[in-house]
Amino acid sequence: MNVVKEFRTRSYQDVCHALLDREEIALVDVREEDPHARSHPLFAANLPLSRLELDAPVRLPRPALPIVVFDAGEGLARRAAERLTELGYTNVALLEGGLQGWREAGGELFRDVNVPSKAFGELVESVRHTPSLSAQQVQALLDREADVVVLDARRFDEFQTMNIPGSISVPGAELVLRARQLAPDPATRIIVNCAGRTRSIIGAQSLINAGVPNPVAALRNGTMGWTLAGQPLAHGSSRRVEGGVDDASRLAAAEGARAVADRARVRRTSRDEARRWADEAVRTVYRFDVRTPEEYEAGHVPGFRSAPGGQLVQETDLFVTVRGARVILADNDGVRANMTASWLAQMNVEAYVVDGLTAADFAEKGMAPPARYAVTPPDVDDIAPAELAALLQSPGTVVLDFTSSADYLTRHVPGAWFVIRSQLADALRTLPDAKRYVLTCGSDVIARFVAPELAAATRRPVQVLRGGTIAWIDAGLPVESGGTRMASPRIDRYQRPYEGTENAREAMSAYLEWEHGLVAQLARDGTHGFRVI
């Protein structure tokens, strides 16, 4: 007889008090990304039940931290709470009434993703009146070959997808560090853009805050505004900042960045104190290296994860899932950590910069260290790619692919069905009869977690493709592409109106109108604690 574990509940009022008092709390939405993006509280972090074992150790790094889990009545929250408890978390509660309870208690609900950062960006513009130019005004400057440089503050891969013709890729945290070298004449106008609004605003205001002498403006509404103005974008561009910064530019940038950090009341710490705080585990601590991924791989301070500063400010809820946590930043130039921390501090995050680092401290090379509380996948029966290929020559074997829908559409084992783990029960009602199931994903990690669940639900033999779809491809076996067999809807990924090159004009216009309304939503919500210097 199975014993149903009881979890305590926390009310809307209780969660709001924790946020306002800056107590540690992780408000976790365990639905898939698309339903999360359609409606959620401001500081709700999206950790889908489907990937909980993989994401929780990194995003919820302290087992005793207070976690409040919710869904919209699908029954996912209780399953997630049980799984979190099995993973070693000791302070898990359910949100009273779930999403509907939050709404009925008077809680404000937001849509889209990375909403705290986007709402903060709108607040910055409303308070500081960040200068901006329309797409038509920028085009006119370019047409007459004015003394102007356009700097794109997004990730380089986003820049390559589409960009303002002639612009240069300078991801957010690099702007203050490199602006003086890119525009050495103080008369050169600097225009900062992103796909929409947030990184344009934060990037332009960063340059202003740090005392860059050039006239600075954001491209109003970014590449979406450019498209809506009927102006063509470039694709596949490779212009990016690379190499070092001259000493004079770096020193001037460091002086300006430190002054901004001090005004924002950023705190200071040392390498040893930061390590001690992480080891003590009495507070949730995030340690980030805010330089470029390439610099991080070449050498970083042990225990620090890569989080390029511009993305950390843009996706704060993704990197800093626990509100009330300590966030410690490191760089090797005195610019990027201070500027990033200045924004986090204004977002009501307890932000620290590590002082006194030397080249010898950046001794660890390669990718991020593994999460401290990593979970070992279950020991299940697996099968080699060649063995699966032989099985598929005769009927009875059904292959289920638990990768992302985007990866499934790109390539999958011929005949495999796309399934989202949290939707497995519904998917089973649409799948063909099977003598056995073989599970895969990009690697085989999620598939190994799903195998016992599927075996219990079907009482059929279940195996896992060893090494996943990657191993299948590496073995030279054929793949299919397209949505040939979708047993679950594509709700694992929210289609952002500012991504890609085929978005409808109506969707872009509606998105920009929504961003403009975020300041009013912040005022109604009242839990953010943001302040703009």
Taking the C-alpha atoms of residue 477 and residue 471, their distance in angstroms, rounded to an integer, is 9
Same domain for 457 and 412: yes
Same domain for 93 and 131: no
243-278 pLDDT, tens per residue? 889 999 999 999 999 999 999 999 999 999 999 999
- What is the pLDDT averaged over residues 122-127? 97
Please say which residue of 57, 86, 115 terminates a domain.
115
Same domain for 341 and 294: yes
The sheet carrying 350-354 orders its strands as: 267-269, 350-354, 326-330, 285-289, 305-306
- What is the pLDDT averaged over residues 186-207? 97
Predicted confidence at residue 502, as pLDDT, reads 65
Taking the C-alpha atoms of residue 411 and residue 403, their distance in angstroms, rounded to an integer, is 10
Taking the C-alpha atoms of residue 523 and residue 516, their distance in angstroms, rounded to an integer, is 13
Q: Could you tell me the CA-to-CA distances from 15 to 8, 62, 76, 323 in Å, in that order?
A: 13, 19, 20, 11
248 in a domain, yes or no?
no
Same domain for 307 and 269: yes
pLDDT of 528 strictly over 70: yes
Same domain for 268 and 212: no
Q: Give the angle subtended at the CA of 473 by the CAs of 484 and 382, to the nearest 5°.
A: 90
- Which region, left, alpha or beta, applies to residue 306 given φ > 0 means left and ψ of -120 to 50 means alpha? beta
Please say which residue of 361, 394, 420 terminates a domain.
361
pLDDT of 1 strictly over 50: no
Q: Which residues contact 123 (CB under 8 A, 6 or more apart)?
A: 518, 519, 522, 530, 532
446 in a domain, yes or no?
yes
Which of 472-481, 508-517, 523-532 has the lowest average pLDDT?
508-517
207 in a domain, yes or no?
yes
15-46 pLDDT, tens per residue? 999 999 999 999 999 999 999 999 999 999 99
* Percentage of residues of the chain with pLDDT beyond 70: 97
Same domain for 231 and 153: yes
Which of 1-10, 214-223, 343-352, 389-398 has the lowest average pLDDT?
1-10
Please say which residue of 49, 83, 115 terminates a domain.
115
Q: Domain residues for 450?
A: 382-474
Model confidence at 2, pLDDT cuts 50, 70, 90, reads low
Predicted confidence at residue 343, as pLDDT, reads 98
Same domain for 226 and 147: yes
Same domain for 397 and 350: no
Predicted confidence at residue 184, as pLDDT, reads 96
Q: Which residues contact 244 (CB under 8 A, 6 or more apart)?
A: none
263 in a domain, yes or no?
yes
372 in a domain, yes or no?
no
Q: Whole-prediction pTM value?
A: 0.94
Q: Could you tell me the CA-to-CA distances from 482 to 380, 427, 439, 491 in Å, in that order?
A: 29, 18, 19, 16
- What is the pLDDT averaged over residues 81-103? 97
71 in a domain, yes or no?
yes
Which of 2-6, 203-207, 354-358 has the lowest average pLDDT?
2-6
pLDDT of 451 strictly over 80: yes
374 in a domain, yes or no?
no
- What is the pLDDT averaged over residues 379-407? 95
Predicted confidence at residue 3, as pLDDT, reads 58
Predicted confidence at residue 370, as pLDDT, reads 56
- What is the pLDDT averaged over residues 120-124? 97
- What is the pLDDT averaged over residues 286-307? 96
pLDDT of 374 strictly over 70: no
The number of folded domains in the chain is 4
Q: Could you tell me the CA-to-CA distances from 283 to 25, 42, 274, 453 in Å, in that order?
A: 11, 23, 12, 34
- What is the pLDDT averaged over residues 398-405? 97
Taking the C-alpha atoms of residue 191 and residue 67, their distance in angstroms, rounded to an integer, is 42
Model confidence at 424, pLDDT cuts 50, 70, 90, reads very high
pLDDT of 335 strictly over 90: yes
242-252 pLDDT, tens per residue? 888 999 999 99
158-177 pLDDT, tens per residue? 999 999 999 999 999 999 99
Domain with 286 in it: what CATH number? 3.40.250.10
Taking the C-alpha atoms of residue 201 and residue 120, their distance in angstroms, rounded to an integer, is 10
43 in a domain, yes or no?
yes
Same domain for 101 and 144: no
Same domain for 386 and 295: no
Model confidence at 507, pLDDT cuts 50, 70, 90, reads confident
- What is the pLDDT averaged over residues 329-340? 97
Predicted confidence at residue 373, as pLDDT, reads 44
- Beta-strand pair 26-29/67-70: parallel
Same domain for 343 and 389: no
Predicted confidence at residue 372, as pLDDT, reads 52
List the beta bridge partners of residue 440.
401
Predicted confidence at residue 498, as pLDDT, reads 74
